A and B are shown apart, each in its own frame.
Chain A
Amino acid sequence: MTISAERPTEVAASSATPPMQSGRVGWTQRPGWMSQHLGTAIVLGIVGYLFGHWLGNAITGNYAYVQNSGQNSAANFFALLFAVVGWLLGIGALNYPFAKLLGREPKQEPTVEGWSKYFRYTLDHKVVGLQYVVGVLLFMFTGGLLAMAIRAELLSPTTHLFGPGTYIEIVSEHGTIMMMMATSIIVGPMGNYFVPLMIGSRKMAFPRIEAFSFWIFVAGYAVIFSALPYGGFPTGWTGYAPLQTQAGPGMISYLFGFAVIGMGMMAAGFNIAVTIINNRAPGMTWSRVPIFVWSILATAALLTLATPTLFAAGLFGILDKTAQTAFYVSEHGGSSYLWENLFWFFGHPEVYIMALPGFGIVAEILPVFTRKPLFAYKVAASGMIGVALLSFFVWQHHLFQSGINPDMRPLFMLTTELISIPTGFIFLVGMGTLYRAKIRFEIPMLFAMALFFNFLIGGVTGVFLSDVPVNVTVHGGFFVLSHFHYTIMGGLLFAFMAGLYYWLPKMTGRMMNKKIGLWHFWTMFIFFNLTFFPMFIIGLLGQPRRVFTYAKNLQGLNDFSSISAFLLGASFLLFFANLMYSMYIKPVKAPANPWDSLGLEWQTASPIPEYNFERIPVVMSDPYHYSEVGAPPVADLGTSAPPVVSTTSGSSPA
């Protein structure tokens, strides 16, 4: 629990409260070599890894199958466990938990000035947000390179670039790293950065838990790639059980990696949910909360409640591989179905963890660029909550052909198709908002519109998949692969890009270059569709997922898809080029409110002061009063500076 620094009320002011930590300097003010930062974290992480590896071998040294090999699951597990603990110690995440044992209150240190705060355990949610931007881009870039490798292998119907073992390793790492990234890609950067600003709060409820969520997320990156020297893991991102039990020590990296990332997801969701519930500014009633915040709240609920199941599933897997239990070993009273159920009980809500924030961003952006209020706000909010609730009741549609109790299938077919009703609400909201609007095709708007295009295809094919007779053909093939790339990449990633182009001016004070941005958008949109649309056909023609060989007659389509994929990769290079160009090479200063948004996050000064708002704003209306004469201002900011208002021609809010 983070507890406030001495901020005595009127009563306490009279009592003799000593100023906090008077006469002592905080760790951030110590000389560089003593303070805690990324460097110390890496050093202690490595020390922890070596120690854990030694310890694991010392404990399990008598096991026949690990004798003298220096490699076994227990050693790998302890190595990773201590590496993560060392990492957290090094970054400073454990300072406060230890100080608390002595009853100390947290030191409310000022954030370090300058760039080094981005490499430290910094508590400012805006710093964490930017750290997350870099973090998820790192995940995305690595996962993207792996995708390029997959498509390169699939240029030919026989094995030519990689051996089958390497290929499966690449496929598994790609899937896992992208799934981990996708759970945080919007909640991490935009959720952390903008939720407090949008609800008029000066900080997060639990800034330490927030910083923890980021740094453990980075640790998860290292953990998942630590599988590579052990030959990776052969199970794909789903980690199905007998194969998981059979796999080598690299499997531990997968299981423990998901547990580590899971802790980050739980921490992030916990902090954000509590913040939204408690830290809303006066007047920020539930009917005025921006729709993006609603989507993040629904996501946070899923993050906090679904992830513990994954955590437990991973724990059982680790126990199977280290303590030799038999959770997933059916010869010994376990069941491989147990993993499938636990995994998908988390896995399906996770899919909506990835979809909902994208909906939120799009619904948030549309009114700004259409100069219209958000259409059917309540339907949008209830749709998001509805999706979140229903998502806990659909997981067995992943198991339609697995030999589960057959009469469960109509039930899960029904629930799965029902979830398309609240998902459809977002289309109602989007189309209603576009109706007779005045659309400005800025880059964020283009990405938002592209989401509707892509997600529609992803959603409709989802209905195909939920239909059991059709599922017989499409389950486990390229059709489903294409389907979820359309929803996650075509939906979430496009929304992420929309959000970046939309909010980066506020985050960094610099505009993204529009010309390169247009090139980026069009190449990404076109090559995304050219990459993944053929995969529907490939799947219908009978190519299963995760194969390195395929029927010769599918080579044309696969090559087409591969070449488009390389160009899609190049489009991401354009994005990075734009990022570098607009942020460092030739920065153009952004106005405080470049899009004339009414959102509260745009009303505060630019650059955003550390305390976000000079005075806690008093919210007077929702931020969607576009084109309305005489609409109330969004909030009373309590400052002398006039609030930034919409300047659309012809509409002048009083």
Chain B
Amino acid sequence: MTDMYNKSKGYTETPEEIEYELRAKVGSVWSGGRLFIGMYTFLLAALAFAYFYLRTANSGLQWRPHNMTAPTAFGWSIFALEALTAVLAIYGQWRLRKGVVLDWQVAVWTGVLTSLVALFLQIWETTTLPFYPGASGYSSTFIGWVVINIATLVVGVYWLETTVARSMRMRKELGKDNPELSSVATARLFRANVASMTYFWGFVALSGALFLALFYIL
């Protein structure tokens, strides 16, 4: 046993207990990832509610005078990069399950890159808007979307980076022989985490498509 906590406290854990707690932890990562998506859904739903509410109310006929639209080139590129990152994450996980860890690492590093570019574009876009934030209901909700999307991308890129960094450190610690695929505790947690992360990126791409439609297409 190398568990310092147990050593220091004079506690022992039976192998069954270790396995039981590990399973709880894997389950926590799994259900935590889903619950996080649920929370995020309510956050985005609040924004979508604001969009539709203001659009329907059209106070002072100021919902969207002159059909003002944020730069669509930015919108499409950001969405494309988000979708690409999601595809990379999903592809990576598929390769990981096939046992090709290197492919997963390359895919996720590429995903870090693409999502960082998306983040950069999303920030840059705010400097090129053809309207002021308070110009209309549309412009307000658009600024709200920009802020939330920046937050989403920061969370997403952080999650991507930490999983791949974990994978690399795991190799350093446990040897190069694909420790990610072993039944070591840390590897099992790692795989649960990757699954949740991939799921989250799928969610990001889907919600990105919804708001792309709302803000740039409709």
Contacts and interface: CB of A to CB of B under 8 A. Distances in A.
Q: Let me know if chains A and B touch directly in the complex, using CB atoms closer than 8 Å.
A: yes
Contacts of B133: 319, 323-326
Contact of A305 (B19, B22, B39): B39
Contacts of A312: 43, 46-47, 50, 144, 148
Interface in A239-274: 266, 270, 273-274
B79 to A, nearest CB: 21
B137 A7 contact: no
Given A313-B46, A316-B144, A3 B193 contact: yes
Contact of B27 (A3, A277, A323, A345): A277
B3 A325 contact: no
Interface residues of B, number: 83
A514 interface: no
Interface string A88-126: 000000000100111111001110000000000000000
Given A110-B8, A304-B39, A205 B162 contact: no
Contacts of B130: none
A9 interface: yes
Nearest to A11: B183
B80 interface: no
B62 A110 contact: no
A16 B184 CA distance: 11
Given A305-B42, A327-B50, A12 B140 contact: no
B144 A319 contact: yes
A279 interface: yes
Contact of B4 (A110, A274, A277, A316): A110
A333 B59 contact: yes
B185 interface: yes
A241 to B, nearest CB: 12
B36 interface: yes
Nearest to A282: B20
Contacts of B196: 1
A326 B136 contact: yes
A148 B186 CA distance: 54
Contacts of A50: none
B162 A101 contact: yes
A239 to B, nearest CB: 15
A532 interface: no
Interface string B11-24: 10111011111101
A306 B42 contact: yes
Given A333-B138, A614-B11, A327 B144 contact: yes
Contacts of B190: 3
Contacts of B50: 312, 316, 327, 338, 342
A553 interface: no
A26 to B, nearest CB: 10
Given A110-B4, A313-B46, A270 B32 contact: yes
A9 B18 contact: yes
Contact of A15 (B43, B143, B148, B175): B175
B175 A325 contact: no
Nearest to B136: A333
B21 to A, nearest CB: 7
Interface residues of A, number: 78
A308 B158 contact: no
A274 B31 contact: yes
B97 interface: no
Interface string A431-446: 0000000000000000
26 contacts: A3-B29, A4-B185, A5-B4, A11-B182, A11-B183, A17-B174, A19-B2, A101-B165, A109-B5, A110-B5, A270-B35, A270-B36, A275-B28, A277-B28, A309-B43, A312-B50, A319-B143, A326-B133, A326-B140, A329-B134, A330-B59, A330-B60, A333-B58, A335-B53, A337-B53, A345-B49
Interface of B: 1-6, 8-9, 11, 13-15, 17-22, 24-25, 27-29, 31-32, 35-36, 38-40, 42-43, 45-47, 49-50, 53-54, 57-60, 62-64, 132-141, 143-144, 147-148, 158, 161-162, 164-170, 173-175, 179, 182-186, 189-190, 193, 196
Given A3-B190, A102-B165, A333-B62, 20 more contacts: A7-B13, A7-B22, A9-B183, A12-B183, A16-B174, A103-B162, A103-B169, A103-B170, A205-B32, A206-B32, A274-B31, A274-B35, A311-B43, A319-B144, A324-B132, A329-B134, A332-B136, A338-B54, A610-B9, A615-B14
